[in-house]
Amino acid sequence: MSSTTDDANTSPEVMLQFYRMLYPFKSVFTWLNHEHVPTKLFTHREFAFTLQGDVYLRYHSFNTAEDLKKQILALNPTRFEIGPVYSGRPRDKKSISSSAFTPQKRELVVDIDMTDYDGVRTVLLRRRHMLSLLGLYRSRGQSFTFLPCRPIWLPSSSVGLFWSKRDSLVDK
């Protein structure tokens, strides 16, 4: 996900309210983890944060969705990235030999910048684009070679969407 002018103009207060009130932490946890109780699919997953001033923090990992939410509310990042599942917990990277610390799984993610499709960026138009994309996904579902699964749609900056699909064929 790349920074945009709108990202730079989003106030830290607005981001904090977004994380507190709107971001679907539990849904993201369940989607990444595949279960309601923590597994290595979540506890061994890397989260990276970009803070105000372009400070980039890598190799964070969490036990629960609530732990992730607490950290995000404390850091209030301008953005964060969900990385691969590693052979060990990313937060323990310094105590694991580099040969033993390797990525094990990744998801297929499509980052759609809505400015490529719409000169007038309003919530109504973005919603219409999202519904169109969902319709496209559903209508073309039979022609995809992936196994059936539920994709997840998440906001990406102020003008984008992430579409990601959990599938054993593309995890590795």
Catalytic residue flag (residue 92): no
Kindly name the residue from 6, 35, 66, 111 that is annotated as catalytic: 111
80 contacts 38 by C-beta, under 8 angstroms: no
Catalytic residue flag (residue 46): yes
Kindly name the residue from 67, 81, 113, 167 that is annotated as catalytic: 113
CB-based contacts of 50, cutoff 8 Å, min separation 6: 56, 57, 77, 78, 79, 80, 81
- Residue whose tokens read 């945009």: 4
DSSP E strands, the chain? 45-51, 55-60, 79-86, 103-105, 108-113, 151-156, 160-165
Catalytic residue flag (residue 111): yes
DSSP string, 22-41: T--HHHHHHHHHSSSS--HH
CB-based contacts of 24, cutoff 8 Å, min separation 6: 154
Residues identified as active-site: 46, 111, 113
